[in-house]
Structure 1
């Protein structure tokens, strides 16, 4: 069973990761040296960490599915081009949260970002399991 202190420590870790990933994502958009898909990949990583922060006791598979659903939903919502939402998208924050236009390549980047999070999480769990056996 996980104690409250352990849950708080995990939440703090995920909150810190969210801030780091947001900073890295913003920096990735400020330079032409970083390919554009990296920002979308980091957006998915941030979403995974955010969902994990909220549902700290849930497994990686559930977090991955929810994160992908949110990322895909936001991307698909970019197909909707009403004036009011386009006005939101024209702001910096609106563009960062809602995106500007639908791209299939973004869906691939989101999938890769979530997959990386799942593999890191499963590796961490696997490593901890075998480390306890030493």
Structure 2
């Protein structure tokens, strides 16, 4: 389905998901660890929606999935400079530390959640 995304809304969504993701880490005794990975995938979907505002939901989800898998696979690459960055707060949040197949499935779940929400919202908007 073709939609034209409003960048302002997507920027707000990205910020909200980042805050939720940081809260899920701070309140880790209340939330399972996998919640953060789903939120990371959701954030990537919204960022790609912000960047590729004229693409279909399916295309945006595919770009988000390729990007997310690429970031996860990049965890297999180790050099002193990238490992040094990974062990900073921001580096750990952006790149993570250790490759995990499970993370890929959680990222895809977050991306799928974003795509489903976007499709539902665009259908509601069209029907009005």
User: Deviations for 1:10-69, whole angstroms, at most 9, x for unmatched residues?
Assistant: 111100111110000001011221111111111111111111111111110110011011
Displacement, 1:96? 0.6
Q: 2:42 aligned to 38, 41, 45, which one?
A: 45
TM-score (norm. length: structure 2): 0.91
Displacement, 1:127? 2.4
Q: 1:12 aligned to 8, 11, 14, which one?
A: 8
Q: 2 CA distance for matches of 1:28 and 1:128?
A: 31
Partner-residue secondary structure (3-state), 2:14: helix
Residue equivalent to 2:98: 101
Displacement, 1:119? 1.1
Q: 2 CA distance for matches of 1:17 and 1:127?
A: 18
Q: 2 CA distance for matches of 1:81 and 1:37?
A: 24
User: Does residue 24 in structure 1 map to residue 25 in structure 2?
Assistant: no
- Alignment coverage as a number of residue pairs: 124
Larger RCO (alpha carbons 8 Å, 6+ apart): 2
Q: CA RMSD in A?
A: 1.3
Q: 2 CA distance for matches of 1:93 and 1:14?
A: 22
Instruction: Spell out structure 1 runs of 4+ moving beyond 3 A.
Output: none
